[in-house]
Structure 1
């Protein structure tokens, strides 16, 4: 039996995945979680063989969870299962230690096959996405520039961004200016959109 942890903040998605996987005689969903922290605690408690993890979750995101899970429970293999097949997400997932990366519009057969192959020690990735990640390159943004763009994409003034991140207005302006230049955008809103589309945020 392959024991599986599902981590996704959308209850309907989690439920659908659990129901689908339950149809397979060799797969068993042993835990479900809506946040990264819940998933980490559930993994340590139930010790799954494979964790199916979404990227965007409240609190700890799926990429951070992958890294922490690989350190805390090396026997558990991770498959990123996301709506967003972005090259930046793919690159960061592989760097964090994921063994597989699938998008949610994949066929049920492909997802089940991925779980089995990853459990067997193989790495399963979408060839087109892997190629795109190579051509798009790594994120040029620093960690602080990513933080500033994450807050900027929600709108708000420089002062509001500064307050949210405990930075000075001048420091926020400098980070925004650097980020805008690095991604080739005209405005901070455009920079945030470009960075998000490439999976850099």
Structure 2
């Protein structure tokens, strides 16, 4: 049996995936998690073969969980299953060690086939998204520029961002200015929005 963990914050989606995958003769859902912070404990407790991870979860993101599972439980294969089919997310998922990246609007039998393929050692990526990611290229933002934009998304002031990230205010302004230039926008809220839409945050 292929043992599966599902990390999905929407209860209806999580329950539907569990029911459908449990109908497969060679699959068993051994854990359901509704937020990112519970993923690592659930993996340690239930030792799944595959973790299906949403990207945008309360607490730790699915992308960060993907990376951490790889470090702490390398035998657990990770598949991102998301509503957000963005090229930037695909690149970051692959960098984090994901073996699959699927968009939720695909048929469920495709998910079961993808899980089997990943367990067999293959990498499975939505083909349309893969070609879009190749065309789009990587994120131009540095890690620090990304951190500053994420901190700016809630409308925080430069002083608040500096305090939160333990940076000087002039350094924050420099990172924000660079991010605005790289996203070809006029202000930090627009820069954050563009970067989020492209999957860079």
State the TM-score, normalizing by the size of structure 1. Answer: 0.94
**1:152-197 per-position Cα deviation (integer Å, ceiling 9, x unaligned):** 2222332333333333322221111011011211211111111101
Aligned match of 1:100? 100
**Residues matched between the structures, number:** 201
Which residue in the other structure is 1:109 paired with? 109
1:144 aligned partner: 144
Structure 2 unaligned blocks of 5 or more: none
Partner of 1:12: 12
Hey, what does 1:51 align to over in structure 2? 51
Task: Provide the C-alpha distance between the structure 1 equivalents of 2:9 and 2:145, rounded to a whole number of angstroms.
Answer: 26
RMSD: 1.4
Write out aligned runs for 1:1-201 (5 A): 1-201=1-201
TM superposition shift of 1:36: 2.5
For 1:103 and 1:43, the matched residues in 2 are separated by: 23
Instruction: Using the TM superposition, give the Cα deviation of residue 3 of structure 1 relative to its aligned residue in structure 2, in angstroms.
Output: 0.5
TM-score under structure 2 normalisation? Answer: 0.94
Look up the SS of the partner of 1:70 in the other structure.
Answer: helix
Runs of 4+ in 1 over 6 A off after TM superposition: none
In structure 1, how many angstroms separate the alpha carbons of the residues matched to 2:133 and 2:190? 21
Deviation at 1:4, TM superposition (A): 0.2
Q: Which runs of 5+ in 1 are unaligned?
A: none
Deviation at residue 147 of structure 1 after TM alignment = 1.4
CA distance in 1 between partners of 2:67 and 2:164 (Å): 26
